[in-house]
Structure 1
Amino acid sequence: MSRETPSNGAIEVHGYALRVIRRARGRAVTDLAAALEVDPSYIRHLETGSKLRVSPEVYAALLRELQIEDYRALLATAPLRDEVSA
């Protein structure tokens, strides 16, 4: 089992990356929260690291709403680069 997918299926997100990407896309916390149908405080908690995990559904919605093509962009445990087999 990978580190970003605990047994309950939750995915650990990198809050700072979430904030940087959200701002780069010009999205306000309230706007993103409304699109995800969550409370704005939930987004703030994710961005500050006081909450670390989201459901797979919320993760997919974050990727969609922030127009992120590489699913690893928000993972807290994303590798620095793809592993290369020798």
Structure 2
Amino acid sequence: MPSKTDRAVEVHGFALREIRELRGRKVVDLATALDVDRSYITHLENGSKRRVSAEFYNALCAELLIRDSRVLLANAPERVA
């Protein structure tokens, strides 16, 4: 999981949208929970914005109940068998 000392994390927008929808969350609800404008979430999901602070990334993972934060990374490391 990215630490708070990291400057930015690159988010995989398609994965974000899929997980959000699987959790039954609407863009506006997620944005409200994270205290950001809904357009910010939309930009992340469609890829027009990709980098977020490590703090925001951690909050996003927590809000979507993501245990393994690598699932939202744009450049996720390979899983070791």
How does the TM-score come out when normalised to structure 2?
A: 0.89
Instruction: Give 5+ residue unaligned stretches, structure 1.
Output: none
Q: Which has the higher contact order (CA 8 A, sep 6+)?
A: 2
Q: CA deviation at 1:79?
A: 2.2
Aligned length: 78
Q: CA deviation at 1:30?
A: 0.1
For the aligned residue pairs, the C-alpha RMSD in angstroms reads 1.8
Q: CA deviation at 1:81?
A: 1.8
- Equivalent residue, structure 2, for 1:14: 12
How far, CA to CA, are the matches of 2:79 and 2:59 in structure 1?
24
How does the TM-score come out when normalised to structure 1?
A: 0.84
The percentage of aligned residue pairs carrying the same residue is: 62
1:54 equivalent to 2:44? Answer: no
Instruction: Give 5+ residue unaligned stretches, structure 2.
Output: none
Q: Which has the larger radius of gyration?
A: 1
- Once the two structures are superposed, the pairs formed by residues 1-86 of structure 1 within 5 Å of their partners are 9-82=7-80
